[in-house]
Each structure stands twice: as C-alpha cells, then as structure tokens.
Structure 1
Amino acid sequence: MRRWILRSQDPQLYYEIKDHQKELRRRFQDKFGYALIINPLLAKLEKIPGQAQAWMGIQAFESIREYQMFCYLLMFLEDKEIEEQFILSTLTEYVALCFPKGEVSWNSYQCRRQLIHVLQYAVKSGLIKVTDGDGEGFLRNEQQEVLYENSGISRYFVRNFMQDIMHFQEPEEFSRSEWFAMEEDRGIVRRQRIYRKLLLSCGVYPDTQKEKDEDFAYIRNYRGHIARDLEQLFPCELQVYSSAAFLVLDREHTIGNVFPQNHALHDLILLVHAALRKRVQANTLTLSANEVIEMEIDACERMVQKVIRANRSMLPKKYQEESISAKKLCEQLLSLMESYGFMEQREHTCLFFPVVAKRSAAYREEEA
C-alpha cells in the first residue's frame, strides 16, 4: 500500500480523498482505529499493523545503520522550511556528528553507499528533491556535492505517539502504547487489532505460544460480520480456515504490492510452493498442528536449488548466466519469500506458512 498521496504527484486522487474525508475518517477510525491526515501537501492514513512483523520494514534498507541514518535525516529536515535547499555536505556533517565519534566516516565506501540508499529512498518517497547534481557521484568521491530541496512532508513520516516513548525497551511496547490505558483484549481494541492484522498481513495464523489464541477465535466466530465490514471498504473476500485466515483481493483490483507479478523470481516462488505441496502430499514433508512446514535450512536450500536447476531454461537470460549460481539465486529467492511473509528463516530451520498453499504453479509441458 502507498504510504501517502502527495497532492503534487497525484492531485486527482488527493482531491477525491479530500472530498470524501468525512466518511473515510469515520470508517477507518471505527473499524481500524486509523487516523486520516489531510493537509495542503498530502493525504495519509496512519496504517499501524495489528502485529509487527520483520518483513514490514523498509525493503530498500539493508542494515540497522541505514535506519539510523534515515532517522537523522528526518531530524535534519525538521528544522528546514518547505522548499528550503541544502547541500549534501551539510547533511553528511550533521549525520556524522549524530553517531558516536568515529562510527561513521565518509572515507568509507560502505558508509557512503548506505547514505545513498537512504537518500534514494527519501527522494522516491517525496521527502526531498534533487535540484542539482547526482547522488551516485558521492559513491566515487566523498567531496561530491548535490543540491537537495526539502518538500516539507518529512514531519508526517513518523506517526504521533500517545505517550513518551523514550523509556521503551522492547518493540512490543510500541504496540501496547497504541491503546494507552485501554484493555487490549476487550471490545473495540480487539476488533481493531484483528482488522489491522487481516488488512496488513498476507495471512493471519493462530499463535502457537498460547493455549488458545483469542484473536483467531474471534475471526472464526465472527467471520460473517468481519467479511461484511471489509467488503464494504475493499473489493475483497475473507477466507477462513482451521489454521489460517486470508483477505484476498478480487483479481481485477490491485492495492499496493500484489503477488504474483510478471517477474521471473515470482515464477520461481510459485514453483517452490508447488514443490512443497508435492512433498506434503507424498508424505515426505509433514505439517505441524497449525499447518506450518518446518525444514532444516540445508534441506530447504537443496530443494530450492533443485527447483531452480530444473526450470532454469525457462527463465530470462540474465538468470541463466553461469555467473548467477543456483546457490546465489536460492538466497535471493528465500530472502524475497521472507520479505513477503511467506516464510521465516531461523538459525537452523525454515518455516513455511499456510499461505504457500494458496498460490503455486508449473510451466506447461509444451513450453518445457
């Protein structure tokens, strides 16, 4: 889903939302507890997940340091006026001072590369604009200057919290702070949390750490009511099973990132899903009580590499080149599957969630 709608980039959709803001505010506040922010720059729905998951991070970032740099960028922009310009060197000086002394040096190619990732994401998100220069030049030379312009929307990137978060030590504390001074497992709070899970997760599963997962029981007991509520807001269908619940979009509609797309790696993921189903049907893989597949990571990598080698001739040429080994392609594939929430890699095992059974495929024999 889109983080926000910028008036400068999509004025038609911005004004459509603005014209219907009263009804939209009522529906999203009631069903999800989401605030709708509309100002002269943007329209934004504060989409807070019902349960934070690892794949919900910023996919463009590859390290914790990039998140740190991004936070410092937001702090830097906080003191800038709308359309105020600044040069890259003023930002690099500010960021270096924010880190403990010596932790960041722009003589380091890795540090420069991380900052470029952050700036590219900021430009793509509309936080800043490139007025003159090329950020890629900073990779080659730390003295390279680029002129940026502050768009003024950076202050809306981080949501407002209902209490002081400076004493928080665990991620779960952010979730609890959302319903400050309210009982988390009663009434409207439970309903809003469940609706958020269904909307922002590719699948909702029972929590095996609990003797009885009350949230999942709520979905099963009130599936009809939940389905009517969500179908009034989105072109979707609620599918509920003994071990999973899915909110499935109609085929002709797309919201945000949709799987599968016309991409070779998506094709391979579908083929991996098919291989998993065959192994379960042949009893060479067993399902847990909540229908999760658990495999030793070595066995998982062998299976994925086998799928890659068996279908490599069907892939685009760039994936057939010898420079891209099956092992390297396997790493890319598992990382992508994890980013979509299809599976989770742990220290020695891989867990595949029930959603993998929803989508699988095979190449037609005449194409083989």
Structure 2
Amino acid sequence: MKTLEELLSRRWITAEKNKELFYKIHDEYLEYEDFLKDKLGYGAIFQNNFIKLDKYGVPPKIWMGIAEFKSKMSYVFLCLILAFLENFDEEEQFILSELVEFITITFKEENIDWVNRSNRTALVDALKFCLQEEIIRKNDGSEENYTNDSNAQVLYENTGLSKFFMRIFNQDINDLNTINDFENISSISESSKGEVFLRHQVYRKLLMTPGVFNTPENEEEFKYIKRHRENIQETFSKYFDVSLHVHKNVAFLILGENSNFGKYFPDDTASSKISIKCNIALLINSYIRKEIDDKKIEIDFKDNIFLKKEYLNELIIKIRKKYNIVFTKEFRTISDEKFIITIIEYLKNLDMLVEENENYIFNSIVGKVIGEYDETLLMEGNNE
C-alpha cells in the first residue's frame, strides 16, 4: 500500500509501532502535500513519535463509528478515559482502579454500578480500543479479568497520544448538543471561501463515501463534479488506482486492483462474518439487477429502487435457502428473523439502502456491484 493510502486509512502512524512507514511518510509527504491541502483541505500533524492526518468534513455515517463498541456507554467511557489521561504525563503509569474511581466521581449523569457486568464490559471495550489505537500501553494484567471480577487490577501506561485524539475546535463546544451543531462550526470558517470549500467537499465525499448523489442537498457538489469531471479523474489517477464514474444521478470512485485503503466494498477482510455479509449483499444486488432487467422492479427518475419490506425479506430468505450450504455455521444456524435483521443492518451501514415507512429504498450503486457463487461450488457443497 502506498504511503498516502496508509495515511488516509489510519488514525495515525506511530514511530514505535511502524518505524519504517513513519520515516517513509516523512520522506514522501511533499509529493502529495498539495493534493491533501488543495483538494481535500487537510493538514498533517507531525510530532517526534507520530504522524496524523486531520480528516473531517463529510456527513457522519453509521459505519464511521467504532465497530467494537456494543453500547453507547463505551463511547462515554472512551471520552472519560481521554479526560483521565489529561492528568498524566507521557509514560506515566496508572492502575485500572484509579480510572474506575475517576469515572465514578466525574460522570454526573448517572451513578455507575460497577457490579453490573454490562458496565464493566463497556469499559473493557473502551480500554481495548485505546490499546489498539496506542493511546495507552498495558504493562501488567488483563482487562478481560475485569469483565468477570470488579476487583481485578491492570497496570497501564499513558503514551501521550490521547492529547491528539480529539479535534481542536475554534470555539467553545460546551453548548453544542447535536451532530449538526458540530458540523456547522467545522464549516463556519470555510463557508465564505466559495469554490475552495466546494472543491474540498467534493473530493472528500468522493474519497470517503460510497458516492455523491444528485439530491437537493448535494446539487452544487454534483454540478461541480460534472463541470470538472476530467480534472477530478486526472487528479485522483495521479495518486490512486481509481476511476471516476459519473451517471445521471450519482458519481463515485471505483477502486482498481492496485488501490486498497480505508473501508471499501466488496470487502475481502479476513473476518468470515463480514465476508459472508458482503457476499450476501452482492447476491441481493445481483437478484435486484435481474429483476430490473426483467421489468419486474421499476426504478424512479432518480434511479432509486423501491422494494416493499416484505419483498426484500422474502428475497433474503430465498438467497439463504439457495446458498446456505456455503455460509459459515453462524449464518446457517441463526433464525430467519435474525438473518434478515443482520443483513438489513449491514446494507444500511453501507449506505446501500434506507428505510422509509413500509419500503426499503436502494440507491443506484446497487447495480454496479453484483456477485454470484459458482454453481459447481454449490453442487460440491451439497454433495458433502
């Protein structure tokens, strides 16, 4: 993977964990600095021990959350961990009970009952994330033990990265309560820049979202893409193996074989659970594409596809029955209801569909990514 792709894909690159990549980005950064600043409006933070690209400015999506967090309390605990670490110097140690005491005293919204296993689990999930992101190091013990025993101790060390985890805003955020409030203060300083701000938004959305749709809220951005289509393609091609596809109602980037960064679809992740969900999504898209070709499903003037909830549910079960033999044990054994819910949530997270009253609305990207299992594979599976 190229250094620019690495920089875009990761929260930060540390010298401790990725020494070679850290120094390579240092050496190559000038080659793509103009692209980051001029097209995306991004700047990089260079410190002695890490490099971070300050990425922001696209609409918040479900998939942008922390997949490992199973409850909102994990996000609460993550914020409290960051606040707790403000009191520690780099390489200074602390024990888990100190953190627990700080959370108990600091969190005023409710009394945290640490006897409750779900609260301990939520804290452990937040600690695991901090370890994964190198915000803290573990010197002794295991946070897994705390899940089962509220008296378990773990010794941690502050890496100093916590101070750079959150974005620095140019005004007081204490009175902000919604996502829109935060989005507005991010754009206030740029709102008067006109074409520059529009260019940043277009490049960010093309790079970090499934596509830019020709909707009222994206009208100016979509017009910009149509006006500057050749320049946009040329710019992206200079740094990535991608091709820009512009249709009547949507524009998006298709990654080539030599591009592999961020979250993408289809997903070839090592996780069998995610891979199966991805395969099922491709099969659904394939069925929908055939139904459109056979005039059994109609599309509206925006190329959106409306399906009754009952129709999609039946389609998902139809696919399950035909291909169940090649799924993992988990997907072969769960109930039909759980199977449907799992796949629908996955499609929503990919921005492939939205729910509206009694309908599911698929966007036009569905027709671009379809998949089929080899019939020979199905026959072999049935024989086994």
In the superposition, the TM-score normalised over structure 2's length comes to 0.88
Partner of 1:285: 297
Partner of 1:366: 376
Q: How does 1:190-229 map to 2 (within 5 A)?
A: 190-207=198-215, 209-210=216-217, 213-229=219-235
Q: Does 1:328 align with 2:334?
A: no
Selected match of 2:287 from 252, 258, 275:
275
Query: Do the aligned partners of residues 104 and 292 (structure 1) sit closer, same or farther apart at CA in structure 2, a change above 3 Å counting?
Result: farther
**How many residues are aligned here?**
364
Q: Does 1:145 align with 2:153?
A: yes
CA contact (8 A) 2:112 2:119 kept: yes
Query: Do the aligned partners of residues 315 and 181 (structure 1) sit closer, same or farther apart at CA in structure 2, a change above 3 Å counting?
Result: closer
Question: What is the rounded CA distance, in whole Å, between the counterparts of 2:91 and 2:356 in structure 1?
Answer: 45
Selected match of 1:14 from 12, 22, 26:
22
Partner of 1:265: 277
Q: Does 1:238 align with 2:250?
A: no
CA contact (8 A) 1:184 1:190 kept: no
More displaced, 253-262 or 213-222?
253-262
What per-residue deviation string (whole Å, max 9, x for no partner) do you get for residues 257-296 of structure 1? 3322342222111111112212222333322322222334
Partner of 1:78: 86
Selected match of 2:309 from 297, 300, 308:
297
SS of the residue aligned with 1:90?
Answer: helix
Query: Do the aligned partners of residues 307 and 237 (structure 1) sit closer, same or farther apart at CA in structure 2, a change above 3 Å counting?
Result: same
More displaced, 262-271 or 72-81?
262-271
Partner of 2:137: 129
More displaced, 80-89 or 259-268?
259-268
Report deviation, 1:341: 2.5
Report deviation, 1:18: 1.1
Q: How does 1:55-94 map to 2 (within 5 A)?
A: 55-94=63-102
From the two aligned structures, give the one with the greater helix fraction.
2
Question: What is the rounded CA distance, in whole Å, between the counterparts of 2:357 and 2:142 in structure 1?
Answer: 40
Report deviation, 1:367: 2.1
What do you get for the CA RMSD once the two structures are aligned? Answer: 2.1
CA contact (8 A) 2:57 2:186 kept: no
Question: What is the rounded CA distance, in whole Å, between the counterparts of 2:195 and 2:40 in structure 1?
Answer: 13
Selected match of 1:313 from 322, 325, 329:
325
- Corresponding letter in the other structure for 1:201: T
Question: What is the rounded CA distance, in whole Å, between the counterparts of 1:283 and 1:26 in structure 2?
Answer: 48
SS of the residue aligned with 1:179?
Answer: helix
Query: Do the aligned partners of residues 216 and 92 (structure 1) sit closer, same or farther apart at CA in structure 2, a change above 3 Å counting?
Result: same
Any unmatched runs of 5+ in structure 2?
1-8, 269-274, 379-384
CA contact (8 A) 1:50 1:194 kept: no
Query: Do the aligned partners of residues 123 and 350 (structure 1) sit closer, same or farther apart at CA in structure 2, a change above 3 Å counting?
Result: farther
Report deviation, 1:185: 7.6
In the superposition, the TM-score normalised over structure 1's length comes to 0.92
Query: Do the aligned partners of residues 123 and 181 (structure 1) sit closer, same or farther apart at CA in structure 2, a change above 3 Å counting?
Result: closer
What per-residue deviation string (whole Å, max 9, x for no partner) do you get for residues 312-350 of structure 1? 012234433x3x223222222222222232223456443
CA contact (8 A) 1:273 1:356 kept: yes
Question: What is the rounded CA distance, in whole Å, between the counterparts of 2:211 and 2:35 in structure 1?
Answer: 23
Q: Does 1:31 align with 2:43?
A: no
Question: What is the rounded CA distance, in whole Å, between the counterparts of 2:69 and 2:173 in structure 1?
Answer: 23
Question: What is the rounded CA distance, in whole Å, between the counterparts of 2:306 and 2:193 in structure 1?
Answer: 30
Query: Do the aligned partners of residues 297 and 55 (structure 1) sit closer, same or farther apart at CA in structure 2, a change above 3 Å counting?
Result: farther
CA contact (8 A) 2:205 2:212 kept: yes
Identical residues among aligned pairs (%): 27
